[in-house]
Structure 1
Amino acid sequence: MGWQTSWTEILGFATGALCVWLVARQHIANWPIGIANNIFFIVLFVRPETGLYADAGLQIVFIALAAYGWWSWTHGGGPGSSEALPVRRTTAAEWGWLAAAGAVGVLGLTLLLGRATDSTVPFWDALTTGLSLAATYGQCRKLLESWWLWIAADLVYIPLYVYKGLYLTSLLYVVFLALCVAGLLGWRRALPARDTRKALGATA
């Protein structure tokens, strides 16, 4: 098809697809697979011809969040707890601080990338970074709506990577988008019965 790719991009594709599939199934192995995926994308994004520096830095934050998510999923998020973390809905307070932190972060990153780097897409790089961080935090806490944030991020990532010539990575994010929809439906089914009724009522 005339695509130019690398082993780094291929390995990022494989580990990324596997990671999201495992998250959708609430499988704990998604966290170490995700860390490997982050490392591959750091190498890919810092190449001069790619220049997605915020996305590269984002992968480092992802690694830290993965360590937290790994612990949170196995210990229920509470000190001394050995129970698995249940799926739940995002509270109004959580939405409030996520929106505030996201807006400040996107604005700050856009200014930083525009002035301190040679990025050609500072706003879009910053926007996907903000959405991805919020979505990853949500998945660490098993918040159902984290899937909506990932869907929004993927809808920006797909054309962004096409623009940057990362066609295989763009295709990966099409796969991610489908897996996110599957994950959203799967996690909704995992909600407690009362929350499931509320979720269905909210989308009716």
Structure 2
Amino acid sequence: MLMPAWTELAGAALGLLNVVLLVRRSVWNFPAAMAMVTLIGITLFEARLYAETGLQVFFFVVNAWGWYLWAVARDRADNTVPVGWMSDRARFVWAAITAALSLSLGWLLHRFTNAALPFADSAIAGASVTAQILLSLRRVENWVLWIAIDVLSVMLYINRELYFLAGLYVVLGVMSVLGLREWRNVARP
């Protein structure tokens, strides 16, 4: 693919806006995210990254849920939300759920589809499900997952010649580091 689809470019631009708003803990990240995942879903389907495509549908739904949760929790004065840390037990449970989801999805894609990179695709998808839920629940650990996801996504998208998405995920990785730092500084114990 020499020229990126307009959906890839527009999705990448909305992705940047979304993460800027997330780092700032703004409830308005959700409308940008919902538009972004719609456009990126189209792009990923065309690249035969089916787990990533399905993930965009999941993101759309969870972003609607997250929008509600954040709207209820936000500080009316500055439109930001409080954030906090998970317990050690919760971290273990979420790690196990993520591994099981990723491996199961990878096997299904390998066995029943023509997915380009089924296990890499599903590892990113499984971790992204967990990260998105933790983000909606306003847990600082979501940023650690997003950093790992961003690194893996860059490699996957370069492999599939989705260079604008790869570039987006480089920037998202940097912004995820900033998000982790910001949320860590304001997190409740």
Q: Normalised by the size of structure 2, how large is the TM-score? A: 0.93
- What is the aligned length? 185
Question: How big is the shift at 1:101?
Answer: 1.2
Q: 2: CA distance between counterparts of 1:3 and 1:148? A: 33
Q: Which residue of structure 1 aligns with residue 62 of structure 2?
A: 65
Q: Which residue of structure 1 aligns with residue 52 of structure 2?
A: 55
Q: 2: CA distance between counterparts of 1:94 and 1:41? A: 30
Q: 1: CA distance between counterparts of 2:178 and 2:98? A: 25
Q: 2: CA distance between counterparts of 1:76 and 1:24? A: 16
Alignment pair present for 1:151 and 2:151:
no
Q: Given that residues 27 and 80 in structure 2 are in contact (C-alpha distance below 8 angstroms), is that contact kept between their aligned partners in structure 1?
A: no
User: Runs of 4+ in structure 1 displaced over 4 angstroms?
Assistant: none
- Looking at CA atoms only, which structure, 1 or 2, has the larger radius of gyration? 1
For 1:4-39, what per-residue CA distance to the aligned partner results, in whole angstroms no more than 9, with x for missing partners? 211011101100111011100011110010000010
Q: Given that residues 7 and 43 in structure 2 are in contact (C-alpha distance below 8 angstroms), is that contact kept between their aligned partners in structure 1?
A: yes
For 1:95-115, what per-residue CA distance to the aligned partner results, in whole angstroms no more than 9, with x for missing partners? 122112111111111111101
Q: 2: CA distance between counterparts of 1:94 and 1:32? A: 29
**Structure 2 unaligned regions, length at least 5:** none
For 1:23-172, list aligned pairs within 5 A. 23-47=22-46, 50-76=47-73, 85-172=81-168
Q: 1: CA distance between counterparts of 2:44 and 2:91? A: 30
Percentage of identical aligned residues: 33
Q: 1: CA distance between counterparts of 2:155 and 2:23? A: 24
Q: Given that residues 85 and 141 in structure 2 are in contact (C-alpha distance below 8 angstroms), is that contact kept between their aligned partners in structure 1?
A: yes
Question: How big is the shift at 1:51?
Answer: 0.6
Calculate the aligned-residue CA RMSD, in Å: 1.7
Q: 1: CA distance between counterparts of 2:86 and 2:42? A: 33
Q: 2: CA distance between counterparts of 1:184 and 1:85? A: 15
Q: Name the SS for the 1:46 alignment partner.
A: helix
Q: Normalised by the size of structure 1, how large is the TM-score? A: 0.86
